[in-house]
Amino acid sequence: MKYEIRVRDDEKEAIFDEKGNRVSKWFDYIEREGLVEGDSNYYLVMKNGKWAIFDVNGRMITPEWFDDISPDGLVRGESEYYIARKDGEDIIFDVNGNRITKEGFNWISPYGLVDGKSDYYLVMKKGKYAIFDKYGNQISEWFDEIKEDGLVKGESPYYIAKKKGKYAIYYKDGQKVSDDFPEKDLRDVYSIKFNDKLGIVELYSKKLKKLRSIEFQPVPLYREEIIDYTKLLNI
């Protein structure tokens, strides 16, 4: 089924299907991404300066009207999550209206959980950055900066973070696996690629020319696990 947006004389907008049936209410604005462009069965609307998401059946799926909502994730058909903004804070919700983030943050990156690339997301609060997982667990300490490349984007279990003016590479459990390196090493970097097996991060310029490499100590893929065999016995 194809859909289009029609505009009334009073400039209100609504979605109609290819048979001419109106499938939405009239709103002040309807985002073209989503249902209209064929990305998903959801669409983002604005009414009286507030935003909400509706599904193809005209049902409002956001728990309330928000100050802003990003089309990343649910509306674009990338995942079941979306970022909504209220009272100056970003919050992640799922398609059922369940709140994923346990607290509000000044900013949440759409990369990772929201765009469907990983189970992690990057947040900023009071000028500091940290990585959380989809269960709301904080898996990194608070840094001055964290690159989305690697863990957050689902490319590697490693990430690059900055503390006290120095960068280093960290494993997803918070373990530091490289020596510190200066900010100048990331200057003019356009692309960051992790080679987990070799323990190398390759940095490229915008013209995809290799600028430099940074070595790190890979974490063994298989660690010895201590098994409590009494838990396996039915006694």
**Is 90 exceeded by the pLDDT of residue 210?**
no
Instruction: Please choose, from the candidates 190, 169, 165, the residue with its C-alpha nearest in 3D space to the C-alpha of residue 178.
Output: 169
Q: How is 86-111 classified by DSSP, letter by letter?
A: ETTEEEEEETTS-B-SSS-BSEE-ST
Give pLDDT, residue 207: 76
Q: What is the predicted pLDDT for the residue at 89?
A: 97
Q: Is the pLDDT of residue 232 over 50?
A: no
Span 207-228, average pLDDT: 74
pLDDT at 222: 54
The answer to whether 82 and 64 have CB atoms below 8 angstroms apart is no
Mean pLDDT, rounded, for 32-53: 98
Token pair listed for 61: 């799926």
Instruction: Say what the pLDDT of residue 82 is.
Output: 98
CA–CA dist 110, 121 (Å, integer):
8
Burial of 103 (0-12, 13-18, 19+ CB in 10 A): exposed
Query: What is the model's pTM?
Result: 0.90
